């Protein structure tokens, strides 16, 4: 019985390999459907960010001027650097030094 089952399976596989799939229904009107889908995609409304893109380019000089003004103000209003060589070591340690002096530690 086992030999008969294997023989049936072999014959079934051979017939399945010999058969060609029927793709005629899928191929029918493929180009027409493809062109219709492309045309529909092109006719879709543009997203909001595509409409805002020209506005961004027009406002770019304004943003550049604001950035330059902020950079100049931050450089001119910053504290001058100290000439003390040990200033870099105790930056932000003023409260610690003061509390140590006051508490006697």
Q: Is the pLDDT of residue 1 over 60?
A: no
Alpha carbon 26 to its chain centroid, in Å, reads 36
Contact 98, 105 (CB under 8 A): no
pTM of the model: 0.36
**pLDDT tens for residues 4-18?**
888 899 999 988 888
**pLDDT tens for residues 21-55?**
788 888 888 899 999 999 988 887 777 777 788 88
**pLDDT tens for residues 66-88?**
999 999 998 888 776 666 666 66
How far apart, in Å, are the Cα atoms of 73 and each of 56, 82, 100?
25, 20, 36
Supply the pLDDT for residue 91.
Answer: 66
């Amino acid at each position: 019985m086992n030999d008969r089952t294997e023989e049936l399976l072999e014959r079934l596989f051979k017939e399945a390999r010999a058969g060609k799939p029927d793709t005629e229904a899928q191929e029918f009107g493929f180009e027409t459907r493809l062109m219709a889908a492309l045309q529909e995609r092109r006719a879709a409304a543009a997203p909001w960010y595509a409409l805002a893109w020209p506005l961004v380019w027009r406002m770019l000089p304004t943003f550049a001027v604001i950035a330059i003004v902020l950079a100049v103000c931050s450089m001119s209003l910053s504290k001058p650097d100290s000439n003390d060589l040990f200033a870099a070591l105790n930056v932000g340690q003023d409260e610690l030094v003061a509390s140590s002096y006051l508490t006697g530690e």
